[in-house]
Amino acid sequence: MEISIIIVSFRVKHFLEQTIRSAQEALQGRKGEIWVVDNHSADDTMPFVKPKFPNVRFVENDHNVGFAKANNQAIRQARGTFTIILNPDTIITPECINQCVHWMETHPQCGAIGAHMIDGNGHFLPESKRAFPTPWVSFCKIFGLSALFPSSPTFAKYHLRYLDEWQPHPIDILAGAFMFCRTDLLQSLGGFDEDFFMYGEDIDLSYRIVKQGYQNWYLPVNMLHYKGESTKKDSMRYVKVFYEAMLIFYRKHFPRFRTVVYPFIKLGVLFRQALAVIRRMGSRIIGKKQSGLKGHWVVLSEQPDVVADCANITQFDTEIPASEPANVLIDDASFSYQQIVDTIASHQRKNVFFHIFASHSQIVITPKMNG
């Protein structure tokens, strides 16, 4: 078997269905398997999804065991030469898999690969390529120097913004939303460290891959991830959980910096939480711009009238305008997921918002929806 795809899910049933369908399309012509490990979702994920995919291997946990442990449940049983760790709110394409397989076959020292991740509206997600969070890199990230000097190799190492996003690069850290790994290496490392419940486990695994003498690579091939880091940064809970994960990472890999790093990280948590509160108050005063579901619509479908009726859209065009604002609804019965991702990537701009009509469930999947 060539490829194992592992998806850990938690209360995102509509996104999950779409991710599985895209994975099935991406595996066409290859010998592969898809694993879904559900962390006791309370939204009827399993009754909704499981009957639709008899060939997918499901693991149903009776409580939320966390991202790391859930992945490991499938990693231990993966039979593919390569294993893909995939978030349940992503769209993967045949081109992405093809390029990753080719790169692995021609670069024997490559242990794992990350991709050019875009959000649901086609914007590049900077967490696609990152550096190890050394004390200096963490300092620049926490106190905003990386944002102030985004092109600086000295201050902007966290997201490596000074590296061309359209060129392949050896990098330090891969995002847990998409990790294309050699299965034998992944299994020899024991998968993810289960001391990490949520966040940080991808950093730790990336670090251990490099310590084994392999390289992590970033490839400029598109895949879609709906809920990138930008959607979480204003959450106080995210700040707390993420930086607690960083403490675990430092205790494990940089114990000699304990007296310096621990107080520094705790100070950073307070600083970032204060910023989160300020941002939240500012958004309430100013008012957030509401994107999608209002205004001019474009329906891309072989049956636009039928799709528009299902989506309760009364007026629409069938071509994306050159410059005017628009909501674009793409019918997944008329276009492959490769075509959908290519369309979103090639038309991204601030005033165009994309949605996908999930024909099997007859619903509109939008970046702002819940599950």
Does a structural domain hold residue 250? yes
- Residue 133 is predicted with a pLDDT of 78
**334 and 256: one domain?**
no
CA distance 331 to 356: 6
Please tell me whether residues 69 and 199 are part of one structural domain.
yes
Q: Which domain covers residue 331, as residue numbers?
A: 297-365
Residue 134 lies in a domain: no
Residue 327 within any structural domain of the chain: yes
Same domain, 186 and 120: yes
Of the chain, the percentage scoring pLDDT greater than 70 comes to 84
Q: What is the DSSP letter of 289?
A: P
Query: Is pLDDT larger for residue 307 or for residue 157?
Result: 307
- Measured in whole angstroms, how far is the alpha carbon of residue 127 from the centre of its chain? 9
Q: Do 198 and 311 sit in the same domain of this protein? A: no
In angstroms, the CA 227 to CA 353 distance is 15
Residue 56 lies inside a defined structural domain of this protein: yes
Sheet holding 297-300, edge to edge: 297-300, 326-331, 352-358, 363-365
Determine the pLDDT at residue 257. Answer: 65
Q: Are residues 173 and 205 in the same domain?
A: yes
Whether 60 and 176 map to the same domain: the answer is: yes
Phi and psi at residue 28, in whole multiples of 5°? -55, 130
> Does 113 share its domain with 258?
no
Q: Could you identify the residue written with the tokens 């050394």?
A: 134
3-state secondary structure at position 310: helix
107, 184: one domain = yes
CATH number at residue 186: 3.90.550.10
In this prediction, residue 195 carries a pLDDT of 82
Residues 93-109 have a mean pLDDT of 98
Pair (217, 80) in one structural domain: yes
- Whether the model pTM is above 0.85: yes
Q: How many CB atoms lie within 10 A of CB 210?
A: 18
Mutual angle of helices 236-253 and 258-286, in 10-degree steps? 170
Q: Report helix, strand or coil for 6.
A: strand
- Number of domains composing the chain: 3
- Mapped onto helix, strand or coil, the DSSP state of residue 237 is helix
Domain end marker among 202, 226, 250? 226
Per-residue pLDDT, 240: 61
Whether 153 maps to a domain, the answer reads no
Residue 154, domain member (yes or no): no
Whole-number Å distance between alpha carbons of 212 and 201: 17
- Say yes or no to pLDDT of 288 above 50: no
Instruction: Encode pLDDT of 65-95 as tens digits.
Output: 999 999 999 999 999 999 999 999 999 999 9
What burial class does residue 255 get, using C-beta atoms within 10 Å of its C-beta: 0-12 exposed, 13-18 middle, 19+ buried? Answer: exposed
Instruction: With respect to residue 291, please indicate whether it lies within any of the assigned structural domains.
Output: no
Quick one: 215 and 244 in the same domain?
no
Query: Per residue in 4-16, pLDDT tens?
Result: 999 999 999 999 9
**262 neighbors 214 (Cβ within 8 angstroms):** no
| SS3 call for 147 | helix
82 within some domain: yes
CB distance 179 to 67 below 8 Å: no
| Cβ atoms < 10 Å from Cβ of 339 | 14
pLDDT at residue 102 above 90?
yes
Strand (E) or helix (H) holding 278: helix 258-286
Distance CA 7, CA 16 (A): 8
- Co-location of 105 and 63 in the same domain: yes
* 199 and 50 inside one domain: yes
pLDDT on residue 22: 98
Q: What is the mean pLDDT of residues 256-267?
A: 67
